[in-house]
Each structure stands twice: as C-alpha cells, then as structure tokens.
Amino acid sequence: MMEMRKVDASQGWQWIVAGFALFKKNPPIWITLFVIYFLAVIVVSIIPVVGPLIMTLLAPAFTAGFMLACRNLEKGEELELGYLIAGFKQDAGQLITVGGLYLVGSITILGLMMMGGGGAILGSAALGQMQGVEPNEILVGAMGGMLIALLIASALLIPLLMAYWFAPALVALRGLTAMEAMKLSFFGCLRNWLPFLVYGVIAFILMMLAMIPFGLGMLVLVPVLSASIYVGYKDIFPVEAEAEPAAEQPALPG
C-alpha cells in the first residue's frame, strides 16, 4: 500500500523544469552517461533479431540507474558514470521482468496490428475482385483498414506505456516487484492524465526544437526528460509515504 497523489495539470511543466535543475548540477557527466548509453544501444541493437529484444529487456535496469542517480544527486552526492550500471546491482531480476512484460505487450500489440492491417488488405483485394472494383479504390480501402489497425494499436500502446513509465523507479527506489510497480505506475498515470497531457505536449515541442541544430539539443533534452521521470515519480508517489503506517494510506484502485 502506498500513497498516490493527484497533482495539478501545471505540474507537467514543473517536472521538466525540475528535471533541468537536476541536469544543471553536472551537465558534462549527464551528457557522457547518455552518450555511452546510446552507444551501447546501437552496439547491442545491431545484433540480428535478438539485439533489439535484449535492449528492451535491459532498458528498465538502465533507467533505474538514472533514477538512483537523480535521487542521490538531489541528496548532494556526486554524479558518477557508475550510475549507468547501478540498476544491475539491485533488483536486476525485477527490472528485467519489467522489460520482459513490456516486450510481451509490445509484440502482442504489433501482432494484432499486423493481423488487422493484413486482414484489411486481403479483404479489400478479395472484395475488389468479386465486385470488379478499380485497383486504386482497392488501395484506398486497404489504407483505411491499415489506419484503423494503427489507431487501435496506438490505443493499446498507451496503457502499456503508462504501466511502464514509473515502474523502474518504483522497483529501484521502493523495492516493489515488477507486477506491483507496473500496476502502481498505470494507476499513477491514469489518476494524473491531465498533467501528463501537458507534459507530453511540452516534451514534443521541445523535441522538435532540439532536433533543429542537427539533433544536438537532444544531448541536453534526453537527460532532462529522464530526470523529469524521477521528479514526476516523487511528486505522485511521495517519499514521505514510506514512513507512514500502512493503515493510514489510501487503498490502491483496482
């Protein structure tokens, strides 16, 4: 049982502001951490077939390391490159399980989208042949079916991302299991959908701006957004709740 707060919509912007404040404590190390991380992603991802799957499994452990870095940096400790692998030193099994659950969910959604889109194409082609429809009309019908499949996949992907968003932080900083963390993350995001909407819009605009100078702005924005996840986690799941008696904490929805 854990306190879960509902915050104002304006907090979506404040998470980014506070994330930037954490970044400013040591920009060179933050940038170096993420450059090394991106290089690791590229190296592992080029392994045929299994590379991207491995990175999906390991990503929560890397994220957990960034969350630990934010917490300790906030306490006045020095930011070090060792935080890149800090998530592998505690609760690694649960963090990899989070990655596994996310991977299974993603593959399932992708499979449903492909089945829906493929069915739409085959259905349109068969109907067109039976009715003597022009090829361009068949193509339009197939594209409409693909669009519907894509919208359905997007609608399914959003809840999966909600369950994943705070899960690494909840595992690494609260010691929860993968399932508990993903459930809490989902309900935390659901209860605070409005600040997340504000956060998403602002983050999207910042990404567009960061891409303008050859993408160099992403060297700053990615660490800032990563730190903002920690800030949002702390805002929705306040640390002081750990010291409160369980009887005084509200029950988790669902």
Distance CA 192, CA 5 (A): 8
- The confidence score (pLDDT) of residue 247 equals 37
- At 81-109, the pLDDT tens digits run 999 999 999 899 999 999 999 999 999 98
5 lies in a domain?
A: no
Quote the domain boundaries for residue 160: 11-248
Return all residues near 33 (Cβ < 8 A) that are at least 6 apart: 66, 69, 79, 81, 83, 84, 223
Return all residues near 15 (Cβ < 8 A) that are at least 6 apart: 195, 199, 228, 229, 231, 232, 235
CA angle 197–15–39, rounded 5-degree value: 95
Please state the domain count of the chain.
1
134 lies in a domain?
A: yes
101 lies in a domain?
A: yes
254 lies in a domain?
A: no
209 lies in a domain?
A: yes
Q: Are 235 and 7 in contact (CB under 8 A)?
A: yes
253 lies in a domain?
A: no
123 lies in a domain?
A: yes
- The confidence score (pLDDT) of residue 73 equals 94
6 lies in a domain?
A: no
**Per-residue model confidence as pLDDT tens for the chain (254 residues):** 578 999 999 999 999 999 999 999 999 999 999 999 999 999 998 998 899 999 999 999 999 999 999 999 999 999 999 999 999 998 999 999 999 999 999 999 888 777 765 555 545 444 444 444 455 555 555 565 567 767 777 888 999 999 999 999 999 999 999 999 999 999 999 999 999 999 999 999 999 999 987 888 999 999 999 999 999 999 999 975 443 333 334 444 44
